[in-house]
Amino acid sequence: MLSVLTDNWELFRDGFWTTIKLFVVAGLLSLVLGTVLAGFRVSPVPALRAIGTGYVNILRNTPLTLVFAFLVFGAPKMGIELPSYFWSAIVALTVYTSAFVCEVVRSGINTVSPGQSEAARAVGMSFLQVLGIVVLPQAFRAIQPPLMSVMIALLKNTTIAAGFSVLEAGAIPAAIAERGENQMLTLVWITIGFLILIIPLVFLQRWAERRTAVSA
């Protein structure tokens, strides 16, 4: 059993390293874009609210595989060239995950007392100042557990990139099959690898839940 891992260590190492890069980069970009979209959804400007609502409704109801397919096969035909399949995967994961981040952030914004926003506006603060200084810091404290669930889902979604020429953890079985290795043992090691990545996030989520419960 161990020989499947040791004999193919470089393949496992490179695959999971790519998975980690996809997760970290797409996760950070999703947090930024998702927060901006949440700002759109609570904006006093109707056009921005429409953009945020349309984006979320479209992306949340579109399979991630189709988002990947569009960016890998459709976008180049429209003159949109990305540097590599890796960056196509980053964009696909980001635009998809940011829709879910947006809804989580928006739910956190809704937990903040309207009185605080009104008081901030009464002293002359703009909408962006109220959102960035008063509302979002409190919202992010409230949404840590559900936001971590979105990040865990993102980590698992990185495996879809394997179907679009990105050598990450999900592509390991196909590569090892060409070497004649035991596929069942390969899947066992991939599962162990994902557990090693996900379990710390789960513990972080539980810690955030306890912290949120205490502060409440």
Instruction: Give tens-digit pLDDT for 70-108.
Output: 988 888 888 888 888 889 999 999 999 999 999 999 999
Which backbone phi and psi does 113 adopt, to 5 degrees? -60, 130
Q: State which amino acid sits at residue 21.
A: K
Cα angle 132, 135, 141 (rounded to 5 degrees) comes to: 105
Cα angle 106, 112, 114 (rounded to 5 degrees) comes to: 105
| DSSP class per residue in 19-71 | HHHHHHHHHHHHHHHHHHHHHHHT-S-HHHHHHHHHHHHHHHTS-HHHHHHII
- Identify the pLDDT of residue 185: 85
Cα angle 107, 143, 119 (rounded to 5 degrees) comes to: 65
* CA–CA gap between residue 37 and residue 39 (Å, rounded): 5
Q: What is the pLDDT confidence band of residue 27, given thresholds at 50, 70 and 90?
A: very high
- Identify the pLDDT of residue 24: 96
pLDDT-above-70 percentage for the chain: 96
* CA–CA gap between residue 96 and residue 152 (Å, rounded): 14
* CA–CA gap between residue 67 and residue 44 (Å, rounded): 30
The token pair that represents 214 in the structure block: 């205490």
Distances (CA, A) of 26 to 90, 120, 153, 194: 5, 33, 12, 17
Q: Which of 37-41, 92-96, 112-116 has the lowest mean pLDDT?
A: 112-116
- Does the pLDDT of residue 113 top 60, yes or no? yes
- Identify the pLDDT of residue 140: 87
Q: Determine the 3-state secondary structure of 165 from DSSP.
A: coil
- Identify the pLDDT of residue 7: 80
The arithmetic mean of pLDDT across residues 200-212, rounded, is: 83
Q: Which of 64-68, 153-157, 161-165 has the lowest mean pLDDT?
A: 161-165
pTM: 0.88
- Identify the pLDDT of residue 29: 97
- Does the pLDDT of residue 215 top 60, yes or no? no
The arithmetic mean of pLDDT across residues 164-186, rounded, is: 77
